[in-house]
Amino acid sequence: MKFPFKKRISTEEDTKQVAKLFSKVLKEGDIVLLNGNLGTGKTFFVKHVCKEFGIGSVTSPTFSIVNEYYGGIKIYHFDFYRINKLVELEDIGFDEYIDDVESIIFIEWADMFPEVLPHKNIYNIDFIKTENEEREILIKFIR
């Protein structure tokens, strides 16, 4: 997979294939920012990346803010959608999670609090609805 990567998808199978390809470039210490409107496939994408690491039970962290998964690698899955203030991230120990270089971190709605993101190993994924219920996935390696 070369970056930037862009693909128009029309089925869940298409999304699964992109997730499988993307999982092959991920390594410990990577942070993946996922942005897009509700229902564009962010959690579905994370679920299928996690499957590639032997993790089968992935759910949306919308209400819990963070889910922790353990398989072939440790994965933290955040959802900033319900976060209203930066202090809420501090209360759950976000700094400790983000400093864990032995994990992969996924953050849905990451654009809500860009100031908490480190300056290393970041991929940005945009999920964009297009016509006819299709979507476009755009993946960039930021730094």
The 10s digit of each residue's pLDDT in 23-76 is: 999 999 999 999 998 888 999 999 999 999 999 889 888 888 999 999 989 999
- pLDDT, residue 141, reads 95
Dihedrals φ, ψ of 95, to 5°? -60, -40
Fold (topology level) of 5-141: Rossmann fold (3.40.50)
Question: Taking 80 as the threshold, does the pLDDT of residue 119 lie above it?
Answer: no
Distance CA(23)–CA(65), nearest Å, equals 23
- pLDDT, residue 55, reads 96
Question: Taking 80 as the threshold, does the pLDDT of residue 82 lie above it?
Answer: yes
Percent of the chain with pLDDT over 90: 78
Question: Taking 90 as the threshold, does the pLDDT of residue 143 lie above it?
Answer: no
Q: How far is CA 46 from the centre of its chain?
A: 6
Q: 13 vs 1, which has greater pLDDT?
A: 13
Token pair in block for residue 132: 């006819």
Distance CA(83)–CA(93), nearest Å, equals 14
Distance CA(84)–CA(13), nearest Å, equals 34
pTM: 0.94
pLDDT band at 4 (very low <50, low <70, confident <90, very high): very high
Distance CA(14)–CA(65), nearest Å, equals 27
